[in-house]
């Protein structure tokens, strides 16, 4: 008998960036559109999905929050969380507006052109300030970047698990 494992899609909403003081307070950078919204989500999960975090705000700094994390009571324990990303289950979020997508919904989609040629999957989404780019391919080594704009990605079909792409001549 084969046991089916349920895969829960998650979204990264923040990252612990270090200790604050000596009593276990933790610095937290929020990746949510409204930074304070990170405190509205629960459960907050470790990347491996095996641990959960219960956080509460203490104060805000320029680009992060000072928080309590349940069970963390020393500077050493707070520093052990440094670099740890925190996630929420995708299904706790509201449906996106028309033409908008959550990264977790796009990553993993198969990419095809209008003639049906497969280019691989969407491996990652990158946004470094010059616009959103999809990394597409069978793996990171053999991937290419494509702007996530209507001219290059005219159709996104989440139900079918694929998107149609337009790859300019010589692009790949």
For residue 25, tell me if it sits in a domain.
yes
For residue 99, tell me if it sits in a domain.
no
Helix (H) or strand (E) holding 80: helix 75-80
Collect all residues with Cβ–Cβ distance below 8 Å to 76 and sequence separation of at least 6: 19
For residue 83, tell me if it sits in a domain.
yes
For residue 4, tell me if it sits in a domain.
no
Statement to judge: residues 68 and 112 lie in one domain:
no
**What per-residue confidence (pLDDT) applies to 109?**
96
**Domain span at 135:** 106-164
**Tokens found for residue 153:** 């990605």
Would the pTM count as exceeding 0.85? no
Q: What is the CATH number of the domain that holds 57?
A: 2.40.30.60
Q: What distance in Å separates the CA atoms of residue 45 and residue 11, rounded to the nearest whole number?
A: 10
Q: What is the CATH number of the domain that holds 143?
A: 2.30.30
Spell out the per-residue pLDDT of the chain, length 172, in tens: 343 434 567 888 999 999 999 999 999 999 988 999 999 998 899 998 889 999 999 999 989 999 999 999 999 999 999 999 999 988 888 888 888 888 888 999 999 999 999 999 999 999 887 889 999 999 999 999 999 999 999 999 999 999 999 999 988 8
């Amino acid at each position: 008998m084969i046991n089916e494992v349920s895969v829960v899609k998650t979204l990264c909403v923040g990252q612990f960036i270090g200790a604050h003081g000596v009593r276990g307070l933790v610095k937290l950078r929020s990746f949510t559109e409204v930074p304070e919204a990170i405190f509205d989500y629960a459960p907050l999960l470790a990347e491996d999905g095996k641990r959960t975090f219960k956080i509460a705000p203490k104060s805000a700094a320029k680009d992060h929050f000072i928080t309590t994390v349940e069970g963390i009571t020393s500077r050493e324990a707070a520093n052990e969380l440094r670099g740890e990303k925190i996630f929420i289950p995708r299904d706790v979020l509201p449906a996106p507006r028309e033409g908008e997508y959550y990264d977790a919904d796009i990553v993993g989609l198969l990419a095809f052109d209008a003639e049906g040629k497969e280019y691989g999957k969407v491996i990652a989404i990158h946004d470094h300030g010059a616009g959103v780019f999809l990394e597409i391919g069978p793996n990171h080594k053999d991937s290419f970047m494509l702007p996530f704009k209507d001219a290059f990605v005219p159709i996104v079909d989440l139900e079918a698990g694929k998107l149609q792409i337009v790859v300019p001549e010589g692009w790949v």
